[in-house]
Amino acid sequence: MALNLDSKIPSGPIEQKWQKAKFEMKLVNPANKRKYNVIVVGSGLAGGAAAASLGELGYNVKCFCFQDSPRRAHSIAAQGGINAAKNYQNDGDSVYRLFYDTVKGGDFRAREANVYRLAEVSVDIIDQCVAQGVPFAREYGGVLANRSFGGAQVSRTFYARGQTGQQLLLGCYQALERQVDAGRVKMLYRYEMLELVVIDGRARGIITRNMVTGEIESHVADAVVLGTGGYGNVFYLSTNAKGSNATAIWRAYKKGAGFANPCYTQIHPTCIPQSGDYQSKLTLMSESLRNDGRIWVPTKKADTRDPNTIPETERDYYLERRYPAFGNLCPRDIASRAAKVACDEGYGVGPGGRGVYLDFSESINRLGRNVIEERYGNLFEIYERITGDDPYKMPMRIYPAVHYTMGGLWVDYQLQSTIPGLFVLGEANFSDHGANRLGASALMQGLADGYFVIPYTMGNYLAGVKPGGVDATHQEFKAAKEAVDARTKKFLSIKGKKTVDDFHRELGKVMWEYCGMARNAAGLDHAIARIPELRAEFWENVNVPGSGAELNQSLERAGRVADFLELGELLCRDARIREESCGGHFREEYQTEDGEAKRDDVNFCHAAVWEYLGDNKVPARNTEPLEFEHVHLAQRNYK
Amino acid sequence: MKIILNIWRQQNATSAGRMVRYEVPNANEHMSFLEMLDVLNEELTRKGEDPVTFEHDCREGICGCCGFMIDGVPHGPQRGTTVCQLHMRHFHDGDELWLEPFRAKAFPVIKDLMVDRSAFDRIIASGGFISVNTGSAPDGNALPVIKKCSDMAMDAAACIGCGACVASCPNASASLFVSAKISHLGQLPQGQAERDRRASRMVLKMTDEGFGYCTNTGECEAVCPKGIKIENIARMHRDYIKASATFREETSGGGAG
C-alpha cells in the first residue's frame, strides 16, 4: 500500500497561499475547544510553543518531556541566533529573499510553499518573543541588533549573546508554565513516549513510561503532536544532548507515518574536536563565530608549529580563497566538506590532523578584545573550559561534527503526517530545510511551527472530528501497552556481556565512517549489511542492569539505542539510493570537477518517503515530486 | 590518573542512603567529570552492579540538568562551571572526592545523585512570565529598550535553573533563582504591567514550596555556574516590599454585560 503524499499546498500565488489556507481552514468555536484533548510530545521550541499556544486557545493539552523540566529541552543549547525577514538593517532583506536563501541553501530539496510560509511568519516570531521579554541584543538607540549568518548576504539574525536558544526557550517555557498555572496544560515531565496508538486510521494517543516509577501508562487524545527533535545521536557522537533520541518519531514510523529523506544530515563545520574514546558528546562552537573568525590551515602539510608563529604567507584561508563572495560565511555543508578536504590532504592540525584553525586575532586587533568578548564571551569560555586553551590568545581548533537532521517524518502543508491526527513540528519533521539547513533557521522553524502554524491547522483537523469516542480500554491501547511491557522485559532479560553504550558507539562508528561527511556506494552497502548484524547482536548480548519498576537510566538508553539501530539502516538505505549529491548528502561519485556537490534534478528532484512494511523487510520508497516555480534550479554558487 | 570516589547511593526517595567507595583507575585529564563517571558506570554495568544515577543532558553547561556536590560544593571546585563542563585536569592523581546530591527540603532525592527540582517550575508557573498570548504582540521595534536595561536583564536571564544556589545556601533558599527571573522581567519595559503581581506571587510560592529565606550569606553567588549576582536578590526584595504595600490579588468581580 503506497503512502498518500498529497502535500495539500494551497493554490494561488505563493505570497497568498498561507493567507488563503488560513481563511479556508475550519474553526472550532471557543466553547467547543475545551472538549478536545491534544497530546504534545516534546517541550522544546516546537513542542513547547505548540503546547502553550494550543492551551491559550482553550484546548485541553497534555505536554510530555523526558527531562525533569520543559526548560531543559535541547533547543536551549542553540547559540547563535534566529533569522527573521524584518529588514531592520535596510540592507535589502525581505520575506522573498529569506525564502530564496533558504530554498537555495537547502540545495533545492525543500518544498517551496512551506519555506515561503516560514519566511512569512518569521517576522511575527520576533515580535512575539520580544513581547515575552526575550532579552535580544540591542543597539544603543534601544532597537534590536542583528548579525550575519552563513548562506546570506544580509544581516537578519537576531540574537541574545551566545545563548539565543536558551532565551527563546525560556520565553516559550514561561508561556507554557503560565498555561500550566491556568489549568490549560498538564505538564508531564520525566515521561518518555514509547508507542503511538492508532485507531481506525487516526492517531489517538500514546503509551508512556513514567521514568521515576517505571509505570507504563496510556494517554488518550483527539490528536497527537510530536515536537521531539532530530535523530543526530544515531551517530553516537554529535552536538545533540545525551538524551536526544528518535524513539517518538521511530515508533510513529512503525505505525504508518512516512519517514522522509533520512539521509539529509547536517555536519556542522565548527565543533570542538574529539579528544578520546571516552568522549560522550561533541560541543558546537556557534556559526556566528565565522562573522569575526577566519578559518585557515598551514600551507605546509602536518605542520606542528605553534599557530601564532606561522606567518601570514604560510596560511591558507581556504574558504576565503575558494568562495570569495561568501568567504567564511558560506553554508555549513560547504564549510564542513572544505575542512574535511583540507584534513584529508594532510593539512589538518592537532591530534591526528583532524582540525583546522578558527582565528580571531585579526578581529581582536581591529575591534578590540572587549567587542569580541561582548559578542562571543560565553562561547570563548566554553572553549577554554573544554580544551584548556585561551582562544583570545590562540586560534581555536575546530572540526565538523553531526549537528542537525533535515530529514524527519513527512508532513503536508498542514504539518500533518501520513497518519491523520498525527502532527509533526520542528526538527522532527522534514519540511523546510531541504538537504541543508542554514544557520539560525532551526529556531525559526521550531517557533514558526509551534506558535504560528499548528494553532491553525490543529483547529482545522479537530473541527472535522468528534471529540472523544475511545478510551484506554480500547484493544489498540491494550495491545500497544503489552508490546511496550514485553519489550521492556526483553531488554532486562538478555543479561549479555556488552553495555548499551558499547553498541551505540559501534553504531556511531559505522555511521560516521560510511554515512558521514562523504558517502559512496561500496561503503553504504557495507553499512547496510553491518548494521543488521549489530542489531542482532544487541538483542542477544546487551546487558541492561536493574529492573523496569524503578528509575533506570540504562533501560532508557537501551530503548533509544534499539531504535537507532533500526533508523541507522534506513538512513544508509536512503543515502545509497539517492545517487546524487545535494546539501549535507555528499556522494563521492557525484561531484563537479572542483569538488562541489552535483545534483541530479532529472532523477532526484523529489522527497523520498519511506514506508515501514515490517521488521526485517526492506521498506518501500515513495516519492513526493518537488516543483520549483520561483527559485530556479541551479548549481549553488557561493563564489 | 586514579580517582577515588565516595558516592551517595540511595535506591529511591523513601529508602535510606549511604556513601559507597569506588575507584576509577583510568581517568585522564581531558575527560569531563561526567565522562569520568561514565567510565565508572560502564565498569559497574560490566560487573553486574547498578550504575550511579546522575542527571545530565546537554553536557554544554546550558540545560541546567546536571549538578551535585563535590566535596560539599555544588558543581565542584571550578568557579562559574557546571559539573558537565568541569574537566579532570583540575584534579590530581590519587584525589579522593565525596559526591552527594543537592540537599534541600524542597529538592527530595529521587535516586543517588538525582533530585526533584520541580518546585522551580511551580514557582515560574506562579508568575514568572509576561502574559502575552501568541499573536498579540506589537512590532519588535515598537518599544525601544535601553541597551543597559536589556543587558542587565540578559545577565539575570542567563540562569539555568540548576539549583546550585539552593544547595549551597544554609537556609536552602531559592532567592537567587527567584530573583533572577523577577530581575530579568522587571528590568524590561514589557515586564512592568505584572511586576508587583510577579514579585508577590513568586516570593510567596517560594516559601510555600519549602525553601528558606535569604539571610545574605552570599554562598549562592559564589557557586552559581552562570555568575548570577546577589544584587538581583536586593531587587527582588525591593519589588516584594513594594508589592506588599500596593498589590492585592484580584477578587472576582461582576462581569460586564
CB A52 within 8 A of CB B134: yes
Q: How far is CA A317 from CA A355, A365, A629, in A?
A: 14, 18, 37
> How many Cα neighbours within 13 Å face the side chain of A430?
29
Q: Nearest CA of chain A to the CA of B8: how many Å?
A: 16
DSSP states along A505-547: HHHHHHHHHHHSSSB-HHHHHHHHHHHHHHHHHHHHHB---S-
- At A423, is the secondary structure helix, strand, or coil? strand
* Closest CB from A69, A135, A163 relative to B120: A69
- Find the catalytic residue in A184, A209, A332, A437: A332
Give pLDDT, residue A629: 95
- Residue range A317-358, pLDDT digits in tens: 999 999 999 999 998 999 999 999 999 999 999 988 999 999
To the nearest whole percent, how much of chain A has pLDDT over 90?
Answer: 93
Q: Does the CB of B57 have a partner CB in chain A at under 8 Å?
A: yes
- Phi first, then psi, for residue B134 (nearest 5°) are -55, 130
Cα A79 to Cα A39, A284, A434, B54, B187: the distances in Å are 29, 9, 22, 25, 23
A268-402: CATH architecture: Alpha-Beta Complex (3.90)
Mean pLDDT of B121-134: 98
Determine the pLDDT at residue B233: 98
Chain A residues in contact with B25 (beta carbon < 8 A)? none
* % helix, strand, coil for chain A, step of 5: 40, 15, 40
Determine the pLDDT at residue A394.
Answer: 96
Residue B253 in this model has a pLDDT that exceeds 70: no
Residue A200, pLDDT > 70, answer yes
Mean pLDDT of B97-104: 98
Helices (H), A548-608: 553-577, 601-604
Residue B157's closest chain A neighbor by CA?
A167
Do A174 and B129 make contact, defined as CB atoms within 8 angstroms? yes
Dump pLDDT digits (tens) for A384-393. 999 999 999 9
Q: Determine whether the interchain pair A242/B58 forms a contact, defined as Cβ–Cβ distance below 8 Å.
A: yes
Residue A597 backbone phi and psi in degrees, to 5: -65, 135
User: A298, A353 in Cβ contact below 8 A?
Assistant: no
Residue B252, pLDDT score: 62
Interface contact flag, A69 B61, Cβ < 8 Å: no
* DSSP per residue, chain B: --EEEEEEE-SSTTS--EEEEEEETT--TTSBHHHHHHHHHHHHHHTTPPPPP---SSSSS-S-----EETTEET-SSTT--GGG-BGGGS-TT-EEEEE----TTS-EEETTEE--HHHHHHHHTT-S----TT-PPPTTSS---HHHHHHHHHHHT-----HHHHH-TT-B-HHHHHHHHHHHHTSGGGSTTHHHHHHHHHHHHHHTT-B---S--HHHHH-TT---THHHHHHHHHHHHHHHH--PPPP-PPP-
Pairing of strands A422-424, A223-226: parallel
Cell 499573536 found at: B135
Nearest by CB: A88 against B46, B141, B188: B141
Q: Chain B: residue nearest A161 by CA?
A: B154
CB-CB under 8 Å, B46 with A499: yes
Give the alpha-carbon dihedral of A372, A378, A384, A390, to 10 degrees: 20
CB B163 within 8 A of CB B115: yes
The reply to whether A385 touches chain B by the CB within 8 Å rule is yes
CB interface of A with B, residues 35-94, below 8 Å: 49, 52-53, 56, 67-72, 74, 76-77, 86, 88
Contact call for residues A38 and A59 (beta carbons, < 8 A): yes
Of A168, A258, A251, A231, which Cα lies nearest the Cα of A444?
A168
Residue pLDDT, tens place only, A111-148: 999 999 999 999 999 999 999 999 999 999 999 999 98
Q: Which of residues 13-32 of A touch B (CB under 8 A)?
A: none
**Mean pLDDT of all residues in B80-109:** 97
DSSP at A450: I
Give the position of cell 503509551.
A207
CATH classification of A479-613 is 1.20.58.100, yes or no? yes
Cell of A621: 520508497
Residue A578 pLDDT exceeds 70 = yes
Instruction: Kindly report the average pLDDT of chain A as a whole number.
Output: 96
Query: Has residue B257 got a pLDDT over 80?
Result: no
Give me the residues of B, 167-196, that contact A with CB < 8 A: 184-185, 188, 190-191
Interchain contact, B121 vs A280, CB within 8 Å: no
Predicted pLDDT at A288:
86
Q: Where in chain A is the domain with CATH 3.90.700.10?
A: 268-402
Burial (0-12, 13-18, 19+ Cβ within 10 Å), B242: middle
Would residue A76 be called left, alpha or beta, if left means φ above 0 and alpha means ψ between -120 and 50 degrees?
Answer: alpha
Least confident segment among A309-313, A360-364, A631-635: A631-635
Q: Tell me the per-residue pLDDT of A229-255, one tens digit each, with 9 for 90 and over.
A: 999 999 999 999 999 999 999 999 999
- Residues A491, A554: Cα–Cα separation, whole Å: 10
A580-614 pLDDT tens trace? 999 999 999 999 998 889 999 999 999 999 999 99
pLDDT of residue B249: 82
3-state secondary structure A248-315: HHHHHHHCCCCEECCCCEEEEEEECCCCCCCCCCCCECCHHHHHCCEEEEECCCCCCCCHHHCCHHHE
Q: Pick the closest to residue B62 from A211, A381, A172, A31 (CA basis).
A: A381
The pLDDT score that the predictor gives to residue B247 is 86
Better-predicted residue by pLDDT, B77 or A374: B77
Amino acid, single-letter form, for residue A330:
C
* Active-site residue, A332 included: yes
According to DSSP, the residues that pair with A225 across neighbouring strands are A40, A423
Residue A452 CA to residue A446 CA, distance in Å, equals 10
Contact assessment for residue B88 and residue B76, using Cβ atoms and an 8 Å cutoff: no
Q: Is A429 or A153 the better-scoring residue by pLDDT?
A: A429
Max distance between CA atoms of chain A, in angstroms, equals 74
CA A270 to chain centre: 17
Euclidean distance between CA atoms A467 and A221, whole angstroms: 9
Give the pLDDT of residue A355.
95
Domain with CATH 1.20.58.100 in chain A: 479-613
- Asked whether residue A524 carries a pLDDT value surpassing 60, the answer given is yes
Q: Do B147 and A170 touch (CB under 8 A)?
A: no
Please provide residue A379's backbone torsions phi and psi, each rounded to the nearest 5 degrees. Answer: -70, -40
Q: Does B135 touch chain A (CB under 8 A)?
A: yes
| CA dist., res. A116 & res. B171, Å (int) | 54
Give the DSSP per-residue string, B41-77.
HHHHHHTTPPPPP---SSSSS-S-----EETTEET-S
Residues of A with Cβ-Cβ distance to B178 under 8 angstroms: none
The DSSP bridge pattern shows strands A37-41 and A223-226 to be: parallel
pLDDT tens digit sequence for A172-181: 999 999 999 9
Show the domains of chain B with their CATH numbers: 3-111 (3.10.20.30), 117-246 (1.10.1060.10)
Contact A364, A394 (CB under 8 A): no
Interface A-B, measured as beta-carbon pairs within 8 A, has a size of: 217
Contact flag A243-B57 (C-beta cutoff 8 Å): yes
Strand partners of residue B32? B87
CB contact under 8 A, A501 and B38: yes
Q: What are phi and psi of B114, to 5 degrees?
A: -100, 130
Cβ contacts of A181 on chain B, cutoff 8 Å? 125-126
CA distance B131 to A173: 12
Contact partners, residue B204, CB within 8 Å, separation at least 6: B126
**Where does the pLDDT of residue A377 fall: very low under 50, low under 70, confident under 90, or very high at 90 and above?**
confident
Residue B255 has pLDDT above 60, yes or no: no
